[in-house]
């Protein structure tokens, strides 16, 4: 695992696939202890969370459903500012235990909107599972129930996370270098 180039930027090794696997194992155990028997629905936020979701749910041995959403932002015609909409959610969430699965939470603005929308759809409880968290960027008011790593506010790629669409397929996570 050495220095790599993704697009026009250089990255150095940051979190190994082995360490990621350890944390995913631990998160899966915690979720199993808390939620086995509630038949939760895991809602994976595309695109970045697809790798984390695939690894996480394959470690769960209880009945659950898995769904995927994408966020679409547009300028509302009647209101000021951005309107966020969830695309792809077909499940009826009324009375359901929901776990939102994210690759990374930085400002928390997006996740805050997702939580509001899911609560509005009648979920009995909405929990958050995130592999990565940048506390120095965070402005949200919610708790991350299941967390892998708190990391510095530096740009990273790999394990689902991209730079200009590239690098999602890397099994390890890399951090941008100063001399990028």
CB of 36 or CB of 147, closer to Mg ion: 147
51 makes contact, choosing from ligand HPA, Mg ion, none, with CB < 5 to 8 Å by partner type, with none
- Strands 4-6 and 9-15, by their bridges, are antiparallel
62 makes contact, choosing from Mg ion, ligand HPA, none, with CB < 5 to 8 Å by partner type, with: none
Q: Please, which residues have CB within 8 angstroms of residue 61's CB and are 6 or more apart in sequence?
A: 32
For 71, the enclosing helix (H) or strand (E) is: strand 65-75
**Start-to-end CA span in the chain (Å):** 18
- Binding positions for ligand HPA, 74-113, rule CB under 6 A: 104, 106
Angle separating helix axes 17-35 and 50-57, nearest 10 degrees: 60
117 binding partner (options ligand HPA, Mg ion, none; Cβ < 5 to 8 Å by kind): none
Residue 55 in the binding site for ligand HPA (CB under 6 A)? no
Element (H, E) at 102: strand 97-105
CB of 128 to Mg ion, least distance (A): 12
Residues annotated as catalytic are 106
Per partner kind, with CB cut-offs from 5 to 8 A, the member of ligand HPA, Mg ion, none near residue 161 is: ligand HPA
> Which CB, 103 or 145, lies closer to ligand HPA?
103
With CA atoms as reference, report the closest residue to 101 among 47, 62, 150.
47
Closest CB to ligand HPA among residues 41, 43: 43
**In the complex, residue closest to ligand HPA by CB:** 161
Q: Which helix (H) or strand (E) holds 32?
A: helix 17-35
Residues 146-165 that bind ligand HPA (CB under 6 A): 155-157, 161-162
Q: Which is nearer to ligand HPA, 62 or 155 (CB)?
A: 155
The helix/strand count (H/E) of the chain reads as 3, 10
Binding residues (CB under 6 A) for ligand HPA: these are: 104, 106, 155-157, 161-162
């Amino acid at each position: 695992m050495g220095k790599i180039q993704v697009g026009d930027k250089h990255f150095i090794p940051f979190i190994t696939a082995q360490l990621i696997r350890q944390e995913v194992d631990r998160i899966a155990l915690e979720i199993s202890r808390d939620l086995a028997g509630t038949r939760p629905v895991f809602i994976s936020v595309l695109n970045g969370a697809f790798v984390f979701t695939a690894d996480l749910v394959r470690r769960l041995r209880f009945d659950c459903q898995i769904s995927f959403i994408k966020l679409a932002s547009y300028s509302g015609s009647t209101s000021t500012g951005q309107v966020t909409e969830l695309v792809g959610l077909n499940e009826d969430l009324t009375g359901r235990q929901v776990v939102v699965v994210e690759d990374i939470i930085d400002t928390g603005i997006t996740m805050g909107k997702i939580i509001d929308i899911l609560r509005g759809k009648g979920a009995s409880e909405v929990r958050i599972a995130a592999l990565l968290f940048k506390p120095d960027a965070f402005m949200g008011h919610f708790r991350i129930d299941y967390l892998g790593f708190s990391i510095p506010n530096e740009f990273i790629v790999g394990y689902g996370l991209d730079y200009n669409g590239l690098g999602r397929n890397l099994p390890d996570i890399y951090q941008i270098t100063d001399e990028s």
